[in-house]
Amino acid sequence: MGILGLVSFALWVIELAVLGRVVGSWLGADPDKPFMKALHTVTEPLFQLVRPLARRIPGPIDWTPAIVILGLSLLSRVIH
């Protein structure tokens, strides 16, 4: 596995972490559990980057995870 393969794998893992955090939030998972804390630690830096943009979208839905996944997907396509 070359460096691009490693980066692609890392992007995939981060996408899974974002999805895990979203699903955990929907299901009411305890945010103090180690697994949820780990997901928060991995995803929060990206969420902080995107939140100012997501707040500009009107409505009650937090679009931050969707924007992060879109960005990761685009980045993954660029490196392929």
Secondary structure of 15-65 as H, E, C letters: HHHHHHHHHHHHCCCCCCCHHHHHHHHHHHHHHHHHHHHHCCCCCCCCCHH
In the predicted model, is pLDDT for residue 17 greater than 80?
A: yes
Q: What is the pLDDT of residues 21-79, one digit of tens each?
A: 999 999 999 999 999 999 999 999 999 999 999 999 999 999 999 999 999 999 999 98
pTM tops 0.85: yes
CA distance 7 to 3: 6
